[in-house]
Amino acid sequence: MTVPGNKALYKVHATADVSPLATIGNGTRIWHHAQVREEAFIGQDCVVGKGVYIDHGVRIGDNCKIQNHALIYSGTTLEDGVFVGPGACIANDRHPRAITPDGTLRTEADWRQGTVIVKRGASLGSNSTLVPDVVIGEWAMVAAGAVVVGDVPDHGLVQGVPARLSGFVCRCGHRLTSKNDNGTTLEMQCVSCSAIVHIQKEWARRVWPTETGRGK
């Protein structure tokens, strides 16, 4: 993540609500009706789309794209190059309630804030939801509409409700297929750019439990 930006070198639309206590990096653009809360940190060259909500204390790295109406709540960290699709939600409460068991309104003292970490280059599809506490691995991809309740490995592709690991993807976003079994890792190749990626066998077995590395 970068040092704070020069206000003359980033763009905030007139209708956006950005706290003076937030930190915005150079080259970042914040569009119509977005809200960025106090102590949020947004790195350089990010795009924050229309109607996005970024809660207090959220940390966002460089070169991230946050599409229209995404909701990112406190406790979230996005590393560099993360894509957040339209309408995606990163939540921070695994056991939400409006009131306590005795019927009184809950306050911040009555709940534990969860955490979500989305690592470098990962993508969250439109209308996907991340439920704390989870870590999304580097270059992983969460399918549109998926509800993630557990960790996702590097390059992992998850889909469904709840989300299940269904394969692996390249840095370019296309699927990987198996090439060679190297013992503890599976050597996989991109169907589009032919890049080679090594996947831990423990994760590959979750996709192909009886025939590790089929890579359909």
Q: Tens digits of per-residue pLDDT, 174-216? A: 999 988 888 889 999 999 999 999 999 999 989 988 655 454 4
Closest alpha carbon to 66 in 55, 173, 56, 51: 51
What does the pLDDT read at residue 216? 42
| Residue extents of the structural domains in the chain | 7-169, 171-216
Residue 4 pLDDT exceeds 80: no
Distances (CA, A) of 96 to 48, 65, 67: 27, 28, 25
In the CATH hierarchy, which fold is given to the domain comprising 7-169?
UDP N-Acetylglucosamine Acyltransferase; domain 1 (2.160.10)
Q: Once rounded to an integer, what is the mean pLDDT over residues 34-49?
A: 98
Closest alpha carbon to 131 in 155, 107, 114, 110: 114
What does the pLDDT read at residue 211? 53
What does the pLDDT read at residue 5? 61
What does the pLDDT read at residue 7? 67
Residue 108 pLDDT exceeds 90: no
- Which pTM value belongs to this model? 0.92
Residue 71 pLDDT exceeds 90: yes
